[in-house]
């Protein structure tokens, strides 16, 4: 894609075609995870790390779900 693709396509189309919005959402989720639950894992073994991440994600989803807006596209 060209350097000024957002200008050529329009911002909304560029967002959809480039995958940038997905990247932005992932970066935001990782930021929330690290800022709320900490920068590093406390478990040593891989199995325990999997359990730790699963529990941390469930906790994070439970904490953030009441504050998340319901997305409705404006017309």
pLDDT digits (tens, 9 = 90+) for 28-74: 889 989 998 889 989 999 999 999 999 999 998 898 888 877 888 88
Collapsing DSSP states into helix, strand and coil, what is residue 26?
A: helix
Looking at the predicted structure, is the pLDDT value of residue 11 above 80? no
- Over residues 16-22, the mean pLDDT reads 78
- The set of long-range contacts for 35-44, using a CB threshold of 8 Å and a minimum separation of 24, is 36/60, 36/63
**9 C-beta neighbours (distance < 10 Å), count:** 16
pLDDT digits (tens, 9 = 90+) for 44-54: 999 999 999 99
The more confident residue out of 33 and 75 is: 33
**23 C-beta neighbours (distance < 10 Å), count:** 10
């Amino acid at each position: 894609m060209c350097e000024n693709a957002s200008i050529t396509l329009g911002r909304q189309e560029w967002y959809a075609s480039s995958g940038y919005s997905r990247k932005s959402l992932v970066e935001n989720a990782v930021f929330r995870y690290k800022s709320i639950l900490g920068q590093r894992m406390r478990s040593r073994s891989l199995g325990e790390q999997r359990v730790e991440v699963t529990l941390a994600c469930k906790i994070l989803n439970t904490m953030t779900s009441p504050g998340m807006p319901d997305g409705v596209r404006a017309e």
